[in-house]
A and B are shown apart, each in its own frame.
Chain A
Amino acid sequence: MNQKTIIPVGPFHPLQEEPEFFELEVEGEKVIDITVNIGYNHRSIEKIAESKTFDQMVFLVERICGICSTSHPIANCNAVEDLAGIEIPERAKYIRSIVGELERLHSHLLWAGLAGHFIGYNTLWMWVWKYREPILDLFEAVTGNRNHYAMMKPGGVRQDIEEGAIPALSKGLDEAEKKIEMVTKAALDDPVLAARLKGVGILSKEEAIDYCAVGPTARASGVDIDVRKDEPYAAYGLVDWKIITQEDGDVFAKVVVRLLECFESIKIIRQCLQKLKTTKGDIAVQVKEIPPGEGIGHHEAPRGETFHYIRSDGSNMPVRLKVRAPTYVNLPTCKVTVPGESVADATIILAAIDPCYCCTERLVKVIDRERGRKWKWEDLLRLSRKKTERIKKRMGISHE
């Protein structure tokens, strides 16, 4: 009866973007084991990087992921600067932080929307994504692009934020903040969301440490790690903000951490914009030569710590680039969070680490040990939504 068959589900589901393959073993309603298999989206980026110059490499690492499309460049530039011993101008530091935090805003909102979609709250999805648009407009004003901002380069940034643009940016930010505040209040006060997500998929503090979880996944379990504080770079050491943590470690805590982090991001951007008014000078130093050696760089991406390692032999190209993205370490936590939960909760728990669903397909195989029944991702989503409906009914809330 324990036959295993691999069923490609979807393989291309409209909302799954990252190449992951989950294998769930269930007994009746309960999940007893899960296996993860990744590698569908392997584009050989580390190898391609060896044929790019240090300047070109930034554009390449930007395209590792579209959602964190400034995290990788920041980490990469940090690594190159570490290697060459370059100190970037203060103005560049503020601009880097502004772009980095705007990205966190858009990424967290994006996640909140998708999470809503997974549990059958499409209203939340459409709503949150609507308020994400003004942030993309801010991006367009600051960098010229909605995504793939092309702002970073070793030694500084590529574009300045003109003094004249600052009032408009602050105004845009104020408006965005009001909207995010509204969404946050609505989401955190919603009895259905609380009933659906509290106590689901718990990752304890010890487990978070054991599995080396990073970013919001770890912070929701009470581990206060954040590279921006632990090893400040860019302007994070020059402005005032705090790390958001929660103790519960369940899916709801992860929602809370992400939503509250948005306000910290807004706080950082505001201070940086203020400081830009008084900080004059260049936005980049000229990098003439990269010496042989090794360098490392981090950035706290929306999902956790992104790490880049670069080795150079003194030419204009790296000999080795190594990237470690946060999802890679967060994904194994599903080994402890999913087993023991019901099948209907599996989708949202998997989604809760915000796997940088980068693009290809996600395959899900669920095997029912007793009946040999095979479940598909669509079935799982349906189950997940049904559960929300049930909860709503029990609470006397008619749907839509």
Chain B
Amino acid sequence: MGKFWALKKSIWVFHMCTGSCNNCDIEILDCLTPKFDLERFGILLVGSIRHADVILVTGAVTRKCLPRMKLTWEQMPQPKLVVGIGSCALSTGIFSPGYNIVGPVDKHIPVHAYVPGCPPKPEAIIDGVVKLVGSLG
């Protein structure tokens, strides 16, 4: 992953929700608040995909969201990394029998790190991001 060394210092993340129950999203936001404070590692949540180095994807991908998710991913500048957060993003989880579910995420876009849990604790999300950074070489 040679070209990714540039991301090692300060990763800007973008949060994308593709049909989740909300909890994974709340836990991601929780990571930013004073108790966990991800920003001290230089990790910043940004509002636009064009500023982001990493997307944090949650949710089981609904039909209505799929084109939107792909578009978002395509708009992201290179080099780009994707982190799947929560059982839904990883395997569609409890929603897998649903007729409106077309996930999991890695069927449609490449995923570089997986954080399991329903929802993963903020510690687990931080651990996932840190491991991803560690693997950048």
Q: A residues near B, CB below 8 A?
A: 8, 10-15, 17-19, 39-45, 47-48, 51, 59-60, 63-67, 69, 110, 125-126, 129-130, 133, 146-148, 356-361, 378
Which residue on A lies nearest to B46, using beta carbons?
A14
From A39, A125, A359, give the contact of B59 (CB < 8 A): A359
For this complex, into which size category does the number of interface residues on chain B fall?
35 or more
B19 touches A67 (CB 8 A): no
A129: B residues at CB distance < 8 A: 29-30, 33-34
Contact with A along B51-68 (1 / 0, CB 8 A): 000000011101011001
A359 touches B95 (CB 8 A): no
If the complex has contacts A43-B62, A59-B94, are A66 and B101 also in contact, measured as CB distance less than 8 A? no
A8–B48 alpha-carbon span in the complex (Å): 12
A360–B118 alpha-carbon span in the complex (Å): 17
Q: How far is the CB of B91 from chain A (nearest CB, A)?
A: 14
A-B contact count (CB 8 A): 136
B10: A residues at CB distance < 8 A: none
From B24, B58, B98, give the contact of A44 (CB < 8 A): B98
Decide if B114 is an interface residue (CB 8 Å cutoff).
Answer: no
If the complex has contacts A8-B68, A359-B58, are A66 and B17 also in contact, measured as CB distance less than 8 A? no
A17 touches B68 (CB 8 A): no
Which residue on A lies nearest to B122, using beta carbons?
A146
A14 touches B15 (CB 8 A): yes
Interface residues of A, dominant DSSP: loop
Q: B residues near A, CB below 8 A?
A: 14-27, 29-30, 33-35, 45-49, 58-60, 62, 64-65, 68, 72, 93-95, 97-101, 118-119, 121
A41: B residues at CB distance < 8 A: 19-20, 59, 62, 65
A19–B61 alpha-carbon span in the complex (Å): 13
If the complex has contacts A41-B62, A42-B64, A44-B95, are A359 and B25 also in contact, measured as CB distance less than 8 A? yes
Which residue on B lies nearest to A113, using beta carbons?
B33
If the complex has contacts A44-B99, A148-B119, are A12 and B34 also in contact, measured as CB distance less than 8 A? no
A15–B35 alpha-carbon span in the complex (Å): 18
A356 touches B22 (CB 8 A): yes
